[in-house]
Structure 1
Amino acid sequence: MRSRGPTLAGELLALQLVIVVVVLFAVGAISFAQSEATFDRVEGRRVTALAEQLSWNPLVRNQIDQPAPAEVLAPLVQSTLTESGVTSVAIADVGGRIVGSSDTTLLGTPLPLSAPGAARTRGWSGYLSVGGNRELVAQVPVLGAEPKNHGRHLGTVMIGVAAPTAWQRLVGASSYLLVHLGVASALGVLGSWLLARRIKRQTLGMEPREIAGLAEHREAMLHGIAEGVVALDPHLRLTLVNDMGRTLLDLPGHCVGMTLPALGVEGRLYDVLAGSEEARDEIVIHRGRVLVMNRMSVVKDGRRLGSVTTLRDRTELAQLERELGSFRSSTELLRAQAHEFANQLHVISGLIQVDEHDEVVRYIRALRKHRESLDLALATRVRDNAVAALLTAKSALAAERRVELRLSDRTTLDRLDPVDAADVATVTGNLVDNAIEAAVDAACATGGEPEAWVEVELRQDASSVEIVVRDSGPGVAPELAREVFTRGFTTKAALGGERGIGLALTQLVCRRRGGEVAVTNTADGAMFTARMSVGRVPRELLEVSL
């Protein structure tokens, strides 16, 4: 519901009208000042010239100091008034008493002067009050011409013109001033109205209160959701990022307006954020966090405005997946063993039915010998129960998929701290699963020949454990040797498939413990080598989950 206060268009129109009025007032004031200056200059020169001409008149020079000069000077004063169109004409004697004037009521009164003695030595022009009216006057001294009083001050001539009113000055400024002001006012009002309509369209018809409310709601929504939001313009500059996005990407507080390269964003994270196509559920490992990112391009009227990327922290989910994987491994182990035992029982049952009792005994002894050899190898070379149990389970799973799981003769692993054992088991399990997949793919591609196998080698020294897993798979393409860990590929990805984040989590565990994981190709297939520190890592660091 919209408020009933002033609309945005109305406020803009009122503001523009105020500006137009101020501009018109300023133009009028300037025109008024120019008119006043022009009047003072032109009329001042004219009345000064008239006053000088009258002061040099022989009649004035001869009669001004005579008794009763008013009657003689009256016709001359009246003719000057009529011919020049001035407002007043006055002649004063040497004592400053008016002896001739166009206004007979001023006869015998003192002549108004700008300053005492101003008209005795020089002429003067300016504004004075004459008969109660403000006039622009010129006062010129009358000097004697006869030899006996040559150059002597005999009196003063004053001629004045009435000062125009403000309206007369404004009208006199320009004959077209009112027309110009009217046209300017009309154009200003029209322009203000068009500007108000344009801004109204650009704001989608929303009023200022609605725009402010929308901005407040957007800020509250962006900073209140549990997902990170990052917006980029076409030049890869950050235009928006919420608190969660800044935390997940470790961005500084002043990151808005900076480009991705300036923020140090590179690698897989840069590829996802700066990609030209939309991305869905892309997995990125960034500074110990497993991030799931979705990017959408923003296009309006066929023009690309940038992109918006959402980020979800999947780190805790990865921990749950790892724990779930432990239960899944146990379930798969039981299922594989049940399947294996069922097959063995079927064989024994069939031998009994055909009365091959001696063959039953030999078959059972062979099965026991195989089991004892595997258990003996694990018991003598892998003394940690958790890792040994894991390898036992993986052996059963590998056998079910017709893959031979071997334990290298150089394997030696002592009992580990439970936390260390959990991480070693995680890395070993991920690498073995990955190797089994690769070996099965290679066997399928060659029709089952040669035999598929996976070899595990565990080596331990005073402060670290090295895990080497070899397989008979197709190997890893050199260009994917680093991407398999950053993108979450397995060796099966070398054939074109994407397989989750197992290897990425493996790299996380190794790096968290000050180690690393790498892959190389051998004559038989791929070889993954993982190294991690054990025993000397601070307990509080180990307790931090993925």
Structure 2
Amino acid sequence: MARQLLGWQFAVVAALLGAVAVFSAVQSTEAFGDVQGRRMLSVAEDVAATAGVRAALADPLRYHQLPPFAESARSLSGAGSVRIALPDTRVLTSPDPDQVGEPMPVGESTVAAGRSWVGEVGDELVAHVPVIGDRGEIIGIVAAGVDLPHLFAGIVHSPSEALLILAAATVLGVGGSLLVARRVKRQTLGMEPAEIAGLVEHREAMLHGIREGVVGLDGQDRITLVNDQARRLLSLPERTDGVPVTELGFNDRLADVLTGRAEGADQIVLRKGRVLVMNRVPIAPAGAVVTLRDRTEIVALQNALDANRSTADTLRAQAHEFSNRLHTIAGLIELGDHDELRRYVDRVSHHQRAWQGEVAERVGDPAVAALLVAKASLAAEQGVGLRLDPDSDLGLIDEHLSADLVTVLGNLVDNALDALRGKQGWIEVCLTHRDDEVRVVVRDSGPGVAPEIAEEVFRHGFTTKAAEDGGGRGLGLAITRQTCVRRQGSVEVHNDNGAVFTARMKP
């Protein structure tokens, strides 16, 4: 890398010196033309205004008197040549004898029109001045010229200065190149360009080949890198480089984890039906890398396991309740109190039939009705009464809506049971199906939800003292909200002698 940088820097310095040399040469040529042009014009005007020259041009017999005037002017002025010609440009006197009697080249001169002119003719810078006779006619032409220098004449005339400039520029370029190469070497951890390119290729292959999602962020929380898995898990568009996290339509929970406002390992977030586990690692001096793992299938299995566990708990609660009733019946038989035994059996049967009958009368969906019957046994074991609101009216619904309704209702009832754990109380459920909306209201006699966290309870991972006091309202409520939103509905909570959760879903 050092050799490459040195070579490139030397090439840059050489190109710069060449450009400076050309620029200086052009400037020198322009300055030469300006200064020498004025000097040659002055020489030609002086010769054209000399009375002896005018007199000699007026009389052909006196043409032989012109050379002394021209040579004298050339010697005194230092001009390269001073020539005198007739109006038809035939040369009468010239430093070069071969030019005498020959036409004088005039180029684009305007001297034939009676106007002085300065310009380049061949390899000379020439000034042409007309000689005017007594009657105002042109009787001759005076041309004073000097040879044009070549482009790098200035450099040739001062080679020591040119070499000094070249040497200084070379030293500066080489020294700068070595310093730059050394600094770049430190910043690239001592790796050569080929090694860096190979590392980038390996990184790209690794990022797009792993099963985990990877998102890179800069110091302003803008996306700098997204692999294929992260793009799929987060449902990101194709073009995300440089886009701030806040402009990608993420929910608050997901945005908090990506930007680092929510700290901690294995943060769980929800994104369009997926349950993601995210970890954020800051990178100095600014930026971060976030990794994502899809836990949707694991959560689905966990929910299925929870459902089986709930069924087992329900069966256990029913077995426990049934065992207690058998013990009571056995005791009454041993006591011989057959009248009380008959009344006890009637009460138990009546209560069981009454609850099942009420559920069957007001809830027409078998899955939802079965869930309510099962949750009643769990609530009874915990010392909590589960009841239906008299206004409940739910008919038969399609199986997909039934599955979502079981999820929402089960989570809300479990949440109420958690809030009443260790306390005596009651839970009331109201299910209604009106026009194009299914409405679920679950109220409990627990401590309620603090108003300042009424929205936070639906976000998994929130941590406030009030939330901890309010009980575990985490992933279950987050899934409830996600289910309702997917059904174009909503879920909210308020307090009315306890917490009141209201969920709405479209069929």
The 3 A distance-change label for structure 1 pair 346 and 493 is farther
Aligned residue type for 1:291: V
**2:456 corresponds to which residue?**
483
Which whole-Å deviations, capped at 9, do the CAs of 1:203-229 have from their partners, x for residues lacking one?
Answer: 445555555555555455445555544
SS in 2 for 1:382: helix
Aligned residue type for 1:114: V
Distance of 2:404 and 2:203 partners within structure 1? 43
Match of 1:294 among 255, 265, 278: 278
Distance of 1:50 and 1:406 partners within structure 2? 123
Aligned residue type for 1:331: A
Match of 1:474 among 447, 464, 468: 447
Match of 1:378 among 336, 355, 377: 355
Displacement of 1:328: 1.2
Distance of 1:285 and 1:122 partners within structure 2? 91
Q: More deviation in 314-323 or 23-32?
A: 314-323
**2:335 corresponds to which residue?**
358
Displacement of 1:394: 3.3
Aligned residue type for 1:377: A
Which whole-Å deviations, capped at 9, do the CAs of 1:31-53 have from their partners, x for residues lacking one?
Answer: 22333344444445555655666
Please state if 1:432 is matched with 2:404. no
Please state if 1:283 is matched with 2:257. no
**1:35 corresponds to which residue?**
28
Distance of 1:83 and 1:207 partners within structure 2? 68
**2:287 corresponds to which residue?**
306
Q: More deviation in 90-99 or 455-464?
A: 90-99
Aligned residue type for 1:294: M
Please state if 1:271 is matched with 2:256. yes
Displacement of 1:186: 4.0
Aligned residue type for 1:487: H
CA contact under 8 A between 2:412 and 2:477: conserved in structure 1? yes
The 3 A distance-change label for structure 1 pair 472 and 377 is same
- Name the count of aligned residue pairs: 497
Please state if 1:20 is matched with 2:13. yes
Which whole-Å deviations, capped at 9, do the CAs of 1:257-282 have from their partners, x for residues lacking one?
Answer: 34444445454334333343533333
CA contact under 8 A between 2:415 and 2:473: conserved in structure 1? no
- TM-score w.r.t. the length of structure 1 is 0.69
SS in 2 for 1:487: coil
Displacement of 1:376: 0.7
Which whole-Å deviations, capped at 9, do the CAs of 1:268-324 have from their partners, x for residues lacking one?
Answer: 33433334353333333445x243342425241xx4x23443444444444333322
Distance of 2:244 and 2:100 partners within structure 1? 92
- Counterparts of 1:206-285 in structure 2, within 5 Å, are 206-208=191-193, 210-246=195-231, 248-265=233-250, 267-276=252-261, 278-285=263-270
- Counterparts of 1:379-418 in structure 2, within 5 Å, are 379-383=356-360, 385-401=366-382, 403-408=383-388, 410=390, 418=399
CA contact under 8 A between 1:120 and 1:156: conserved in structure 2? no
Aligned residue type for 1:330: T
Which residues of structure 1 form unaligned runs of 5+?
1-6, 444-451, 538-546
RMSD: 5.1
CA contact under 8 A between 1:437 and 1:492: conserved in structure 2? no
CA contact under 8 A between 1:382 and 1:413: conserved in structure 2? no
Match of 1:495 among 444, 460, 469: 469
Distance of 2:359 and 2:342 partners within structure 1? 25
**1:521 corresponds to which residue?**
495
Which whole-Å deviations, capped at 9, do the CAs of 1:229-248 have from their partners, x for residues lacking one?
Answer: 44444434344444554555
Displacement of 1:405: 3.3
Displacement of 1:527: 3.8
The 3 A distance-change label for structure 1 pair 57 and 237 is same
* Higher alpha-carbon Rg: 1
**1:329 corresponds to which residue?**
310
CA contact under 8 A between 1:488 and 1:503: conserved in structure 2? no
CA contact under 8 A between 2:111 and 2:141: conserved in structure 1? no
Which residues of structure 2 form unaligned runs of 5+?
none
The 3 A distance-change label for structure 1 pair 364 and 171 is farther
The 3 A distance-change label for structure 1 pair 228 and 363 is farther
CA contact under 8 A between 2:56 and 2:66: conserved in structure 1? no
The 3 A distance-change label for structure 1 pair 200 and 89 is same
The 3 A distance-change label for structure 1 pair 455 and 181 is closer
Displacement of 1:330: 2.4
CA contact under 8 A between 2:212 and 2:230: conserved in structure 1? yes
**2:425 corresponds to which residue?**
453
- TM-score w.r.t. the length of structure 2 is 0.73
SS in 2 for 1:407: strand
Aligned residue type for 1:23: L
SS in 2 for 1:35: helix
CA contact under 8 A between 2:412 and 2:442: conserved in structure 1? yes
Displacement of 1:337: 4.5
CA contact under 8 A between 1:119 and 1:139: conserved in structure 2? no
Distance of 1:528 and 1:59 partners within structure 2? 121
SS in 1 for 2:420: helix
Distance of 1:465 and 1:52 partners within structure 2? 110
Which whole-Å deviations, capped at 9, do the CAs of 1:462-485 have from their partners, x for residues lacking one?
Answer: 666655444443222222333223
Which whole-Å deviations, capped at 9, do the CAs of 1:78-122 have from their partners, x for residues lacking one?
Answer: 87776665556777799988887766x649764744379969978
CA contact under 8 A between 1:481 and 1:519: conserved in structure 2? yes
SS in 1 for 2:106: coil
